[in-house]
Structure 1
Amino acid sequence: MNNHNLRMSRHPSPAAPYGGAITDVAGIEVGHFTDSRRPTGCTVILAREGAVAGVDVRGAAPGTRETDLLAPGNFVQQIHAVMLAGGSAWGLAAADGVTRWLEERGVGLDVRYGTLPLVPSAVLFDLPVGDARIRPDAGAGYAACEAASSTAPAEGNVGAGSGALVGKLFGVHRAMKGGVGTASVTVNGVTVGALIACNALGDVVDPDTGRVVAGARTEDGKTLLDTRRALLSGHLPTPLLAGTNTTLGVVATDAALTKVQANRLATAAHDGLARAINPVHTMSDGDTLFALATGRVPLQGDAPGMTVLGALAAEVVARATLRAVHAARSVRTEDAYFPCAADLD
């Protein structure tokens, strides 16, 4: 594919629902790198002072790095960043740039012979959009860190969501544009936020109304098919290459959690994906959610406990997923067109 044939729609997207951002959580910063040569990129979620972390991988085709260290029984207690990227497994190289950037600033675990930043990472498959030979690398990860701040991050066709698509169960040619979304809620002094890069095989659904917002289109490409109803009526999916999808995300809270609790938070957060994506956690998705706890607020007194935190995590994940497709813009390549939610309104 020729990069110079990429065109992005100027059609305004509908107003994104909900509000807030993962950076509303004290101690969290976000930076994007978006490649100008084709829609791909990476997103870094920084916790410079360290954060207790967990992870839950639900898709059957994940691409990850350093997730084993987040198991509750393993030695490491805190990490310093999470990197999300496009480019499939090649995109994991972006984590090297994040590690270098943090090391230069003295952020990491003291291992006597150096300061070692811990950067668990995950990737999604965005190779159908533009020239697949262009993938995020260490320079991209470094640039994302340089752009990081505690202000609300950009959404839509940015960072890890630059080349994201949704609704590919009946062929990539009937898919729509996905992207990055973020949201947060605060209850009794505790904030929970999420950032999602939505590149799902399934449709994205508004959990409050049940309406499909973006996903597989009808054969003429003009309207939404509704994948769930199509499957129930006997429509057969198009044969798929395994691992060509994946929704990634990070849930963060300022609550003080243990590693066991952080892992449970990541597990509960997947309920939000299940509310907003259908089907989800498929054999062709590598759906992975990380949880970060910056520990600014102790869980005592009127602060919400783990049951409430789990409910909040699921809620912000669902909201961020919905925002990802509302904020997305359409993309045209040399041989394909991927509309956004606004184009079908």
Structure 2
Amino acid sequence: MSSSICDVAGIEVGHATDGRRPTGCTVVLARAGAVGAVDVRGAAPGTRETDLLAPHNVVERVHAVLLSGGSAFGLDAAGGVMRWLDERGIGLEVGPARVPIVPGAVLFDLPLGDARIRPDAAAGYAACEAASRQAPAEGNVGAGAGAAVGKIFGFARAMKGGIGSASVCVDGVTVGAIVACNALGDVVDPATGRVIAGARTPDGRALLDAHAALLRGEEARPMLAGSNTTIGVIATDAALTKVQAGRLATQGHDGLARTIRPVHTLSDGDALFALATGASGRTLGMMTLGAMAAEACALAVLRAVRAARAVTLPGVHLPAAGDLA
């Protein structure tokens, strides 16, 4: 049985995938609320409600996090998540109403298929309807449906990205992550140092190793700023403060740095959210929790590309990691 973010008590995940072209969205639900935080490291983010999660701001608990394709258009999917939660009376009590708190982030997947098709409120609602405690599907689903990696020397030499999830348990406390990997850079297995998906050689038949190519002086040819991005959610059943949850999100980026080269670039909008449900009724030291977050994120990135499958559309072919292994 594979590990996933759903191993964290109080967390559910649902995908909505649009079959008309590769795009979709993923919702991480915390119906009872969870202490929330975020750390945005990329230079071209597309986000919603991230200011709310700053440690000096008053709202502490969130009820869902949206991860979506469709670039900035995909933020519309959060409206459907809010409607689904509102129908069930889930939200922050503010006098006459309950307002669901739904932060989110988007990635750029518009080059695949008809760019006029992108996740909307109906997709966000559908993802909530599909949510469960079961380990979520990985690869070409949800926010990972249109993801691609290794675009640093042009989209024509990229490979298929995806979405993946993993968890780590220490002394009865669990930290899990779900990551949609749409990185400009390559994905590297930190255990071996080998590139497993990323920029290909000019003939498209082999992996290039973008990091080594940059150090040789080859000129990068990235797409427009914001046309990439790795986004994800870290969740734990540990009891954390908002400041501590923020540190968990920060240390989760260590996992991205281990597995994506280069990462946090001018052309990426990398963002990680953190949710602490407190369902275990206990905690661990932040050193241990941070190490767990980094490990879960690294494993989720690897699972995202290993579960991905090739996509062929008019004018573009993106092989998957298994095709070039």
Query: TM-score range with shorter-chain normalisation?
Result: over 0.9
CA RMSD between the two structures:
0.9
2:145 and 2:300 map into 1 onto residues whose CA distance is 16
Q: In the alignment, does 2:296 pair up with 1:316? A: yes
1:73 and 1:82 map into 2 onto residues whose CA distance is 20
Q: Which AA in structure 1 matches 2:260? A: I
Match of 2:156 in 1: 173
What are the Cα deviations for residues 217-249 of structure 1, in whole angstroms up to 9, with x where unaligned?
000000000001101111101153111000000
Q: In the alignment, does 2:213 pair up with 1:233? A: no
Q: In the alignment, does 2:316 pair up with 1:336? A: yes
Task: Report the CA distance shift for 1:157/1:267 in structure 2 as closer, same or farther (over 3 A).
Answer: same
Q: Please, which runs of 5 or more residues in structure 2 have no aligned partner? A: none
Kindly report which structure 2 residues correspond to 1:131-150, keeping only aligned pairs within 5 A, or say none.
Answer: 131-150=114-133
Structure 1 residue matching 2:218: 3-state secondary structure: coil
Aligned length: 325
Percent sequence identity is 70
2:104 and 2:60 map into 1 onto residues whose CA distance is 17
Kindly report which structure 2 residues correspond to 1:33-112, keeping only aligned pairs within 5 A, or say none.
Answer: 33-112=16-95
Q: Which AA in structure 2 matches 1:288? A: A
Please report how far the alpha carbon of residue 73 of structure 1 lies from its aligned counterpart in structure 2 after TM superposition.
Answer: 1.2
What is the TM-score with the length of structure 1 in the denominator?
0.93
Structure 2 residue matching 1:20: 3-state secondary structure: coil
Q: In the alignment, does 2:184 pair up with 1:201? A: yes
2:247 is aligned, of 259, 264, 270, to 264
2:23 and 2:118 in contact (8 A); partners too: yes
2:60 and 2:314 map into 1 onto residues whose CA distance is 47
Match of 2:269 in 1: 286
Please report how far the alpha carbon of residue 114 of structure 1 lies from its aligned counterpart in structure 2 after TM superposition.
Answer: 1.0
Q: Which AA in structure 2 matches 1:331? A: V
1:269 and 1:36 map into 2 onto residues whose CA distance is 31
What are the Cα deviations for residues 114-145 of structure 1, in whole angstroms up to 9, with x where unaligned?
11100001000000111111010000000000
2:234 and 2:275 in contact (8 A); partners too: yes
2:186 and 2:195 map into 1 onto residues whose CA distance is 7
Structure 2 residue matching 1:160: 3-state secondary structure: helix
Match of 1:325 in 2: 305
Please report how far the alpha carbon of residue 110 of structure 1 lies from its aligned counterpart in structure 2 after TM superposition.
Answer: 0.8
Q: Which AA in structure 1 matches 2:175? A: V
Match of 2:11 in 1: 28
Match of 1:217 in 2: 200
1:34 and 1:240 map into 2 onto residues whose CA distance is 25
